[in-house]
Amino acid sequence: MLIAHIAALPAERDSFRQELSSIEKDRPNGRVFYAEFPEAWSRIPFPGGRVLLHAPKYVQDQILGAPEKLCSENWLTHLHSIDGPYLVVRMEGDSIEISRSLYRGLEVFYTRIADHLAFSTSLPLLLRLKQDRGWTLDPDYCQRFILDRPAFSGATAISDVRSICLGQSVRSDLSSISTIGVQMPREQSSGPIEILTTKLSTLSRSFSSVSLSFSGGLDSSALLHCLSKAGVDFEAIHAVSPLPYADSERHEAEKVAAAYSRELSIVQMIESEGLGFAPSMLEQPQYASPFDVDIFRAACTERPQGPALPPTNALMVTGHGGDHVFLQNPSWKVGFDRVRKFDVSGFFMDVKRRCTLKKTNFYAGLWQNIRLLLGRHADSRGLHLPTWLPGRARTLAADDHYLLAGMDPRTAKFEHVRSILLGLSTIELHSPDNNSTLHPLLLPDVVGTVLYRPVRELFNAQHDRVYFRRDFHDSAGHDFAWRKSKRSSSASLFKYFRDNQDPLLEWLADGIVARQLMLDADELRKSLMMNGQVYLDDDFPALINLIQLEGFVQSLRRHSQ
């Protein structure tokens, strides 16, 4: 999709249509903007304008069941009740209105060209339209991404390009842009298991077949229970890898499935360990975000991404996002919520429970929380700063996503909501065919079961995600709701750094991110050697993020030329 002021368009427009399989132009007499959008998009005419819709079929079934609502004054209220990803564009007169779902769908980028705003779902297309080959990275966005403090405020890796936030709806006359609404998860009176059961029962009716990606862990076990409880006919698929924990994981998965009289469909997965690093494989795909970059893609051109769906109207259900929503890792800041209100006994109790759960030192936990009261740089407290990142500023810019608005960044609740946003931002975009992948634990109503709860209600000294576990156990009656399972990818990551140390260093040290952020190549080499020859240290999350970021900007350069 491309919407731009006619003054921003070059004389030759055909080159900007290559990424759009079938184009429809919209430029009635007197209208100042030019719109191009794929013919596959749904369109609903109404007096004085039209509505454009991009969504998978199961979401279209919900929205187009009452198409007149998209043309009414309360169109946003209707959209905010929808489950799944959507992008809606309303064009009327000389203004446009764009609404993005909180559940991640297509990204919409915008920038200023010839003193007017231009919007597109393709960032390379927008950069080609700008005809600016010297674009620069946004150093704050890049630093935040590398340090595991990504921005959800609409900033992008490119300094003068922004995106519409998840869940945000805007209006623009191409001279200015303003927010007209946001999708807030509704506070729920029912528990997550009841909501998931209802959602899966309803949504599965849009598909001819349903499959569950089933690891046997807490999230996929809860979804297996909900699908069974809802009476959905589905196949449980268990992917087996060559990693050391695979046999025990399969055994546990089979025990859970047996409780529901189900047999698993086993799929053998291929690991990409030991294969040569090929940066070109990271640069070839087009990405909407650095989150979409799979670092293992560069090591194997034919790496399976998951159980393959046949070319039919099929649904794959996964447990992605459950650890973010129901809080697998409560922040060490949990005591601050109490101590700032002078609830001393509650402060000691919360810190002790968290330290017991994570097996960390109680007195260190007390001191960390007390330091928050004394320090100004709350967002950087406890943040590991790699030596290869120059400046290593201890302050990060505020993140103004509306779900974080007004929240104190020193609180554990701020960290929880940011983790939810991370889960939403890492949803894979759906394929263009009729097959769909659904991550029901990230649906807004499911998020609403915990969004307004204090963090202290989401864990105890024995278990993380205790609210979700308790609700699951109350509904299913099985003790595996309380089972502690932990899988680690550290072995494969260590081998990844070990086998690809030299090509990684060459690619990263000569890359766009290194040049524009002035990374220290010597320190970067030391860090890669440590993580590939000795052990994974505190740098390794930043190294992975750096690889993702470099892959994203290299791909962007390739496709915007």
**Cα–Cα distance, 523 to 416 (Å, whole number):** 32
Angle among Cα 401, 405, 411 to the nearest 5 degrees reads 110
Q: Which two tokens stand for residue 397?
A: 């810019």
**How many angstroms separate the first and last alpha carbons of the chain?**
18
Instruction: Give residue 360's region: left, alpha or beta (phi > 0; psi -120 to 50).
Output: beta
**Contacts of residue 349, Cβ cutoff 8 Å, sequence gap at least 6:** none
Q: Provide the pLDDT confidence category of residue 209 given band limits of 50, 70 and 90.
A: very high
Mean of the pLDDT values across residues 11-17?
Answer: 52
**Strand-strand pairing, 33-38 and 42-46:** unpaired
3-state secondary structure of 100: strand
Least confident of 93-97, 214-218, 469-473: 93-97
pLDDT tens digits, 192-207: 999 999 999 999 999 9
- Most confident stretch, 66-75, 170-179, 327-336, 395-404: 170-179
Evaluate if residue 273 carries a pLDDT over 70.
no
3-state secondary structure of 200: helix
Residue from 327, 369, 342 nearest 460 by CA: 327
User: What does the pLDDT read at residue 384?
Assistant: 84
Domain ranges within the chain, ordered by starting residue? 2-182, 192-327+427-487, 335-383+396-420, 491-560
Angle among Cα 52, 54, 57 to the nearest 5 degrees reads 125
Evaluate if residue 278 carries a pLDDT over 60.
yes
**Structure pTM?**
0.92
Specify the CATH superfamily of domain 192-327+427-487. HUPs (3.40.50.620)
Looking at the DSSP assignment, which residues form a beta bridge with residue 120? 2, 109
State what percent of residues in the chain have pLDDT above 70.
86
**Cα–Cα distance, 57 to 64 (Å, whole number):** 10
- Please provide the CATH number assigned to the domain covering 2-182: 3.60.20.10
User: What does the pLDDT read at residue 23?
Assistant: 40
- Most confident stretch, 103-117, 288-302, 390-404: 103-117
- Same CATH fold, 192-327+427-487 and 2-182? no
The kind and range of the H/E element at 37 are strand 33-38
Evaluate if residue 346 carries a pLDDT over 80.
yes
DSSP 67: G
Average pLDDT, the chain: 87
DSSP 181: E
Evaluate if residue 310 carries a pLDDT over 60.
no
- The better pLDDT of the pair 394, 21 is held by 394
Evaluate if residue 380 carries a pLDDT over 60.
no
User: What does the pLDDT read at residue 302?
Assistant: 42
Evaluate if residue 64 carries a pLDDT over 70.
yes
pLDDT tens digits, 125-136: 999 888 776 789
